[in-house]
Homo-oligomer: A and B are copies of this chain.
Amino acid sequence: MLELRLVQGSLLKKVLEAIKDLVNDANFDCSATGFSLQAMDSSHVALVALLLRSEGFEHYRCDRNISMGMNLNNMSKMLKCAGNDDIITIKADDGSDTVTFMFESPTQDKIADFEMKLMDIDSEHLGIPEAEYHAIVRMPSSEFQRICKDLSSIGDTVVISVTKEGVKFSTRGDIGTANIVCRQNTTVDKPEEATVIEMNEPVSLTFALRYMNSFTKATPLSNTVTISLSSELPVVVEYKIAEMGYIRFYLAPKIEEDEDETKPQA
């Protein structure tokens, strides 16, 4: 028996908006710790890890660990039927091959339940080692989103370079080149507007903007984003989910190909 009651149902709606474009099907894992998901994107290039801790739910009952395979598109369709102020409850009976989403309007005048078939999905749960990063950048998530979008209009890849002074996002395309430098800045009115750089070692890595832009779909979940970089390691783009956990995206850097961008990207 599983019963998770989330007063701020819009959180779950936003989570699905954030990952459904990247991942088609995934197992949601439920344990005493919380509600989590880990999945590769459909082209097996990026990885998404979601955690919603049990403490963040108003009511959290999970008798035994279960893994529920869902089609995220279908799940998203159902969650779109919940109002933004609705309370969402996720329910599943032991051994059932369905999950139920229940939506209660704030006034309790409307109660909806949507039942969705579960699917069997080979889960490839990778252990993700906690790594030390050469540089960690925290900045407003909207600014990061804007930068990724802007650079996409010029080129396909972004070089992210961190020095003590700031973080630079660069691209190059047919019509020209672009460099955007964000300086460290902690003297702002609101802490979420700060750009904070922790750097042990300068680092410069190249990533496909297409994936970065997908990651920024999580922007509504948090005012800030944290970008953790090390050479030879996948970048981690993390959006904290207030009181509950996080959504993290992992993406391997591209090996610099010296201008020779003619071959297709698998």
Contact = CB atoms under 8 A, between A and B. Distances in A.
Interface of A: 71, 74, 77-78, 80-81, 98, 107-117, 143, 150-151, 153-154, 175-183, 185, 195
A176 B117 contact: yes
Q: Which 7 A-B pairs have the closest CB atoms?
A: A81-B150, A116-B176, A112-B180, A74-B175, A109-B185, A114-B178, A115-B177
Contact of A154 (B111, B114, B195): B114
Given A77-B153, A77-B154, A117-B175, 11 more contacts: A78-B175, A80-B150, A80-B153, A108-B183, A109-B195, A111-B180, A112-B178, A112-B180, A113-B179, A114-B179, A117-B176
B77 A110 contact: no
Contacts of A81: 150-151, 153-154, 178, 180
B175 A110 contact: no
Query: DSSP majority for the A interface?
Result: strand
B110 A180 contact: yes
Most B-side CB within 10 Å, residue of A150, A176, A179:
A176
Contacts of A98: 176
Contacts of A180: 81, 110-112
B176 A74 contact: yes
A182 B109 contact: yes
Contacts of A181: 110-112
Contacts of A78: 154, 175-176, 178
A114 B176 contact: yes
A110 B151 CA distance: 14
Nearest to A75: B175
Contacts of A176: 74, 78, 98, 114-117
B183 A109 contact: yes
A108 B180 CA distance: 12
B178 A71 contact: no
